[in-house]
Structure 1
């Protein structure tokens, strides 16, 4: 065996019903005295609850999807003006992403309190959008020092958002099995994360207030993010970052829609990964298991429904081909990527995609 696996330094607390005490403990551990709370308007009430044991010097609610550069700059200025020494981020991926944008230039530590299954809280990946282009990078300074997972905070998440966010988490599992730095350790995390999400998300969809489903789905989302943090960004995420940044498509719904098409595209040339996923889903094949889960969850079906125009596809293809990982199991070309995106745009059956048996040359 020859591989390098990096485990990120982070404290992770699962504290169902105990977020206020857990957050206070983590802030105390940082010796922070001037805390900034970042939470969008929709998460304001939850943020008040979560930070009830603190006395923040600033509450900031300008949270925007894909973290536009101008929003990040205003948030950094607000943090500087209040001499902030820690950030508590309460919300989904956009909230955590904004906190990371501040940490990137200031080094201020983050305590993340997720209210979705986004997974950004467990990675050192940051992303900013400017002039229709989303730029991502990796920097250890943006990794939250601590995560507090409290399943009760997800009870108010609408079912359709739970489904989209949960499938976004599942995309972390799938992409981690063939991303540029995939290795046997994150493959174990990815497979167990996929199993847990496959078990938990249907429970969440049928009983949104039930802690059993929320806890196992949150556990799966954490494992998914941990796998992704080590494996890196694969083809699926490259596609979705282009679609989100350039065309302002909703983040989680875009991931949920594109996922089966990337799986159908790569699985013929990644048999070990496909077998792991099939086992996690308890299904004869990975794609069959994913599609059955998507039908159960009434998942988003087409990019057209999310606002992408067919005329946008050639631009997206050009952008994705330029950044597609050379190690992707199936060689990415303008022709086969166009076919993938047209199928996803129309909501066509991904099993109808002609398999491309075309492994990239070694090295």
Structure 2
């Protein structure tokens, strides 16, 4: 057994009902005196409660999906004008992504308070979109110094969005099993993350206001993100980055629709990974377990329902093929990638 595994330095707190106190302690530990709070208008009330005890110098709410470059530039300019010395994000992946964009060029310390299961808070991956092209990279400056998970902040997340966001987290687990830097430690984290998500998400659907399902899903989402941060982007994420940036598709729903089709393509060529997923789902195969879970969750299936058009398929194929990771278990060709995207578009049975 030979591998090189990098564990990212980050403080993580899961404290249901204690977000405000935990965030205040983390900001004090940084010695910050002029904090920039980033939260969308939809999360404004929640953010105000979480950051009530902080020395807030700037509240910024221009949060846009896929972080357009021009939005990032405006946020950076606002941070400079307000002379902030730390950033606190309260929200989902787009909010965390904007905080990362500011940290990337300023070097300001970042603290994240997630309200979805996006996982961006646990990675050193940044993403910016310009002229329909989403560019991603890694940089230690964008890794949040601390993450505060509070499951009570997620009880108001609508069930449909909870499901899509949770399946986005599950995609981190699946991709981590064959991504460019996949290793046994990533696989162990991914398998436990998948197990937790497979148990937490149905509980969220059954009782959206209950904490047990939310906490289990948060736990799974964090593990999945840690695995993904180490393993890197596999085929699934390369596809979703192209689709999201090029066609402005909703992030979580895109991942939820694409995931089973990538698993169906790769699982026959990765029996050990498939066996791990099958065990996590307590199912005969990884795909059978995923499809059973998606059925119980009433998960998104057809990307045509979220803005992807049939005539977009050839252009998407041409954009994806050059970025297919060499580590992908299955050969990827124009023909099978076209078939995959057509199946995703129409919501066909991935098997």
TM-score bracket, normalised by the shorter chain, equals: over 0.9
Partner of 2:157: 157
Deviation at 1:55, TM superposition (A): 2.7
Cα deviations by residue, 1:84-105 (Å, 9 ceiling, x for unpaired): 1100000000000000000000
Query: What is the CA-CA distance between 1:54 and the residue it aligns to?
Result: 1.0
Structure-1 residue corresponding to 2:184:
184
Please state whether the residue corresponding to 2:304 is helix, strand or coil: coil
Cα distance in 2 for partners of 1:32, 1:299 equals 42
- How far the C-alpha of 1:331 sits from its partner, in A, is 1.1
Structure 2: where are the runs of 5+ without partners?
A: none
Shift of 1:266: 0.3
Q: Hey, what does 2:173 align to over in structure 1?
A: 173
Shift, 1:254, TM fit: 0.2
In structure 1, the residue matched to 2:295 is 295
State the secondary structure of the residue aligned to 1:12. Answer: strand
1:4 is displaced (CA, Å) by 0.6
Report what 1:57 is aligned to. Answer: 57
Can you list the C-alpha shifts for 1:27-83, whole angstroms capped at 9, x where unaligned?
011110010000001111110111011130000000000000000000000000011
Aligned pairs (5 A) from 1:1-363: 1-351=1-351
Q: CA deviation at 1:327?
A: 1.2
Q: Shift in Å at residue 195 of structure 1? A: 0.1
Shift of 1:206: 1.2
**Deviation readout 1:184-235 (Å, 9 max, x if unpaired):** 0010000000000000000001100000000000000000000000000000
How many angstroms apart in 1 are the aligned matches of 2:161 and 2:346? 21
Distance 2:333 2:311 in 1: 19
Deviations 1:133-170 (A, max 9, x none): 00000001100000000000001100000000000000
Structure 1 gaps, min length 5: 352-363
Aligned-partner Cα distance in 2 for 1:302–1:341: 10
| CA distance, structure 1, for counterparts of residue 347 and residue 43 of structure 2 | 32
2: distance between equivalents of 1:288 and 1:49?
A: 42
How much is the aligned-residue C-alpha RMSD, in angstroms? Answer: 0.5
Q: Deviations over 1:274-306 (max 9, x none)?
A: 000000000011001000100100000111111
SS in 2 for 1:129: strand
What's the secondary structure of 1:42's corresponding residue? helix
Measured in 1, the distance between the counterparts of 2:226 and 2:271 equals 22
For 1:192 and 1:277, the matched residues in 2 are separated by 9
* C-alpha separation in 2, matches of 1:144 and 1:334: 38
Instruction: List structure 1 runs of 4+ shifted beyond 4 angstroms.
Output: none
Distance in 1 of aligned mates of 2:344 and 2:189: 28
